[in-house]
Amino acid sequence: MNARTGTDGPAIEVRHLRKSYGDMTAVDDVSFSVAEGEIFGLIGPNGAGKTTTIECALGLRTPDSGSIRVLGLNPGADVDKEQLHLIVGAQLQASALPALLRVGEILGLYRSFYRRPADADELVGVLGLAGKRRSFYKNLSGGQKQRLSLALALIGRPKIAMLDEMTTGLDPQARRDTWGLIERVRDRGVTIVLVTHYMDEAERLCDRVALIDRGAVVAIGSPAGLVERAGGGQRVRFVPSGPFDNRLLTGLPEVKDVERHGGHVVVSGSGELVSAVILALAAAGLTARGVQVESATLDDAFVLLTGRHLHGEGTVLRP
Amino acid sequence: MSNRWSLLPASTPRAAFGMIVRNEARLGRRKPVALFAGAVVPTFLLVLFGSLRPTNIPVKALGGLTDFTVYVPIFLAMVVAALALFGLPVALASYRQQGILRRLSITPVPPAWVLAAQFVLNLCFAAIELVLLLAVAMAGFGVAAPKSPGGLVLALAAAIAALFSIGLWISAIARTEQAAGLLALAYFFPMLFFAGLFFPRAEMPKPLLDASNFTPLGAAVQAIQSALLNGFPPSVPLLVMAAYAVIFGALAVRFFRWE
């Protein structure tokens, strides 16, 4: 629902957003829209412009050009900020809380900012901070600070939650718990924008993602759709029971390429690749041992769509 | 100030302000730099001076006043200066540096509420400490009741306005908590010198005394001393303090940044 006009429309609409800091262009023509109740991912390497986009949508930065509407509100307009901050909860990267306040005190403080706040006990329980209510903020681990920050993003029962790198610094169990929490929050009708450079997180949670690279949107779609668009490939790796000519497999319609790594054969392709390969081998009197099947992931899609590795050379990984 | 949206958003619970004040008080207690400089040190010095120096022998060089009576206004001014310079500016600069104000700026609470809370809190500390200090001086060391209580309140209010404006100015220009602390020190001790802490104003050579009259704490001591001993303070020191309040207040508003 549009907060100002009361009409239905996208929860968030970003059109031709541009923002530079001095000579450095952080965001160079980003457009996307997020439907209500959707979990939308902004994914890409660090420095791609994801955080700047979110900060513009929160009214923390003023875009150089382009427009943003969040439930019909303009985050850049002072008159809309009051309403915006009531209905949008956010987790920011570059922010902190007073070192000498206790977790319980911080939660109580942020609860008091809203007329109908969420149940702090429930949030703290789900986020595994129940035993930490008496701890000073400065004594929390990185992961605990992260979870508290997530709790504060949700404590005002927002209609939209914008979460910037919410699971960075969390251990695998805490990440899975956090994913569960995000899904439950979405089930209550909250629209969620996730900024992440973890492709597994995006594949697990997001209905749709925008791949962002060097300040521009490279592709938008469902994670499965993007993988499909990038060739939807699979790879089958096995050790054959005897020698064979590559042409045995390259002739198959499902097969795109055959490579040999030592004793291993790696066949890439699509469709019913595994059965096609096994059948062709059997017809030649061969069997495949140690068969491993890898499906293409968003990581692969990103590489194919941008020609660059997400976590490889040339991209700086944030700790 | 960059945040020009409403300072009193209609849908933000007013109780949030009370919660902010409560938590600022907790922080002030847990890192008591300002409380120490503004409450413990002046009280300690007052008791020390009262015990070491004669409190009842008039000194000719001091215009017939006792050593001790000369120092009471200085300690009162010191309370105001310490809370104004070490309380509010250091806290605000650290909140800005760490992104605490940034986090707050995306909630329904305007970050200015933190500034207001800091102001209210340090004002309360100042009021309590000023009353306590005066009570100790009167009950413990035989200092007479203020000649003009209304004039004293006015002199202290003017001192608070001037010093807190300077504090706000420091928080506007200091980028880090450390810078704010250093700037506060750099203002604090010269101001105390002109206030007569190191040697009394009555013993200052004429040019120095003239300069002292136009410093914030020099004017404060002049007005406070006059309200304590003679009656309603003269207008010049009050106007000097008002001018500091207006000038530094305007500069602070002009240059203050939330991020």
A116 in contact with B, Cβ within 8 Å: no
Between A6 and B76, the higher pLDDT residue: B76
Percent of chain B surpassing pLDDT 70: 95
| Arithmetic mean of pLDDT, A65-83 | 91
Contacts of B103 in chain A (CB under 8 A): 92, 95-97, 152
A134 in contact with B, Cβ within 8 Å: no
ipTM above 0.90, yes or no: no
Between A75 and A224, the higher pLDDT residue: A75
How confident is the model at residue A81, as a pLDDT?
Answer: 87
Contacts of B9 in chain A (CB under 8 A): 82
The reply to whether residue A82 touches residue B100, judged by beta carbons under 8 angstroms, is: no
Is A5 a residue whose pLDDT tops 80?
A: no
Which residue does chain A place closest to B109, by CA atoms? A113
Is B3 a residue whose pLDDT tops 70?
A: no
Between B69 and A157, the higher pLDDT residue: A157
How confident is the model at residue A316, as a pLDDT?
Answer: 37
Is B111 a residue whose pLDDT tops 90?
A: no
Q: How many CB pairs under 8 A join A and B?
A: 77
Q: What is the pTM of this model?
A: 0.83
| Arithmetic mean of pLDDT, B152-174 | 95
**What's the whole-number average pLDDT of chain B?**
90
Contacts of B12 in chain A (CB under 8 A): 82, 113
Which residue does chain A place closest to B101, by CA atoms? A95
| Arithmetic mean of pLDDT, B13-31 | 94
Percent of chain A surpassing pLDDT 90: 55
How confident is the model at residue A7, as a pLDDT?
Answer: 56
Q: Where are the beta strands (DSSP E) in chain A?
A: 12-21, 24-34, 39-43, 65-70, 88-91, 160-164, 191-196, 208-213, 216-221, 234-240, 255-261, 264-269, 288-295
Per-residue pLDDT tens for A19-46?
999 889 999 989 999 999 999 999 988 8
Q: Which of B4, B106, B114, B177 best tests the A interface by mutation, with the highest count of A CBs <10 A? A: B106
The 8 Å CB, 24+ separation contacts for B18-24 are B18/A112, B19/A108, B19/A109, B19/A112, B20/A109, B20/B109, B20/B113, B20/B114, B20/B117, B21/B117, B21/B120, B21/B121, B23/A98, B23/A101, B23/A105, B23/A109, B24/B91, B24/B114, B24/B117, B24/B118, B24/B121
CB within 8 Å of B52: residues ≥ 6 apart: none
The reply to whether residue A98 touches residue B99, judged by beta carbons under 8 angstroms, is: no
Is A277 a residue whose pLDDT tops 60?
A: yes
CB within 8 Å of B200: residues ≥ 6 apart: B62, B70, B71
How confident is the model at residue A1, as a pLDDT?
Answer: 55
**A27-31, A229-233, B9-13: segment of lowest average pLDDT:** A229-233
A210 in contact with B, Cβ within 8 Å: no
Per-residue pLDDT tens for B201-242?
888 999 999 999 999 999 999 999 999 999 999 999 999 999
**A238-252, B57-71, B193-207: segment of lowest average pLDDT:** B57-71
How confident is the model at residue B54, as a pLDDT?
Answer: 67
Distance between CA atoms of residues A303 and A181, nearest Å:
30
Please return the burial class of A91, using the count of CB atoms within 10 Å of its CB with bins 0-12, 13-18 and 19+. Answer: buried
How confident is the model at residue B166, as a pLDDT?
Answer: 96
